[in-house]
Amino acid sequence: MFEIHYHLLFGLDDGPKTMEESLALAEASIAEGVTHIVCTPHSNDKYRFDPQVNRERMGMLQERLKDRLTLGLGCDFHLSYDNIESLQKDPKRYTINGTRYLLVEFPEFGILSNMQDWFYQMTAAGLVPIITHPERNPVLLQDPGRMAEWIRLGCLVQVTAASLVGRFGQRSQAMARSLLKKNWVHFIASDAHSVDGRAPAMKRAYEVLQSEFGQETAERLCITNTRAVYFGEFLPEQPEPEGVYSSLQPPKKSFFRRLFGG
């Protein structure tokens, strides 16, 4: 399996504090059958994001892990004005392995009012935003339908493995399931931070997907699509997302247009 959202690098954010903690986390994922992890430290007003430091730290870890696990780099990109401004100057600073794919995280409370425009600009510039864990965002929990217009623009969606198995509560679990049923989910990722608190849960999530949504879905969300992102390839054809395009009905004819035609 491939992990595309993961706080593996030590001493950078609220992930592991030491090299040993990072290694313990890596071991937990190896035991789950993970072969590749994109290390995605936070970039927000709390944690400084420095690609050079990230690269060095990843190199140190890779050296210890040898070829038992392959590491890549990305960013848990917080959607703030400052970050978006910096992204416009240098997108590859934040994208997964320097590809077109970018993880994006909404603030906990309140989504930028012009989010649609930002996503439009990102996709027009060739980026593919991956909306991370909408099932854990209070605003989207209230109104998941908002995501339809973003998916229509070409955004993809990642759900947290632990949400699917109930570790973030019933509401998040129910929303994860409902998004899956509608084919609005493209990836499952652990977003792991530590072996005890926020541990990886890919194996368990894979099993849940397998039994509730079938083998094809489990493989597509945990292996095929995540591998494509890791290597910067196009995703294979995905099942039609329900209610995303069908909601685009032609506008009803107005009284005047009915009267005068056109």
Beta strand pairing status for 36-39 and 2-3? parallel
Number of H helices, E strands in the chain: 12, 9
Q: Least distance to Fe ion from the beta carbon of 239, Å?
A: 26
Residues 6+ apart with CB under 8 A from 80: 44, 45, 107
3-class state of residue 101 by DSSP: strand
Q: Least distance to Fe ion from the beta carbon of 77, Å?
A: 10
Q: Least distance to Fe ion from the beta carbon of 62, Å?
A: 20
Burial state string for 65-79 with b = 16 or more CB within 10 A and e = fewer than 16: beeebebbbbbbbbb
What's the number of CA atoms in the CB half-sphere (13 Å) around residue 240? 6
Q: Stretches 75-83, 217-225, 232-240, 254-262: which one binds Fe ion (CB under 5 A)?
A: 75-83
For residue 107, with 0-12 CB atoms within 10 Å meaning exposed, 13-18 middle and 19 or more buried, which class applies? middle
Q: Least distance to Fe ion from the beta carbon of 207, Å?
A: 23
Please give the residues from 137 up to 166 whose contact with Fe ion meets the rule CB under 5 A.
none
Q: Least distance to Fe ion from the beta carbon of 7, Å?
A: 6
Q: Stretches 46-54, 74-82, 92-100, 203-211: which one binds Fe ion (CB under 5 A)?
A: 74-82
Nearer to Fe ion, 76 or 135 (CB): 76
Q: Stretches 188-196, 202-210, 214-222, 241-249: which one binds Fe ion (CB under 5 A)?
A: 188-196
76 binds Fe ion (CB under 5 A): yes
13 binds Fe ion (CB under 5 A): no
Which of 191, 213, 226, 244 is in the footprint of Fe ion by CB under 5 A?
191
Binding site for Fe ion (CB under 5 A): 76, 191
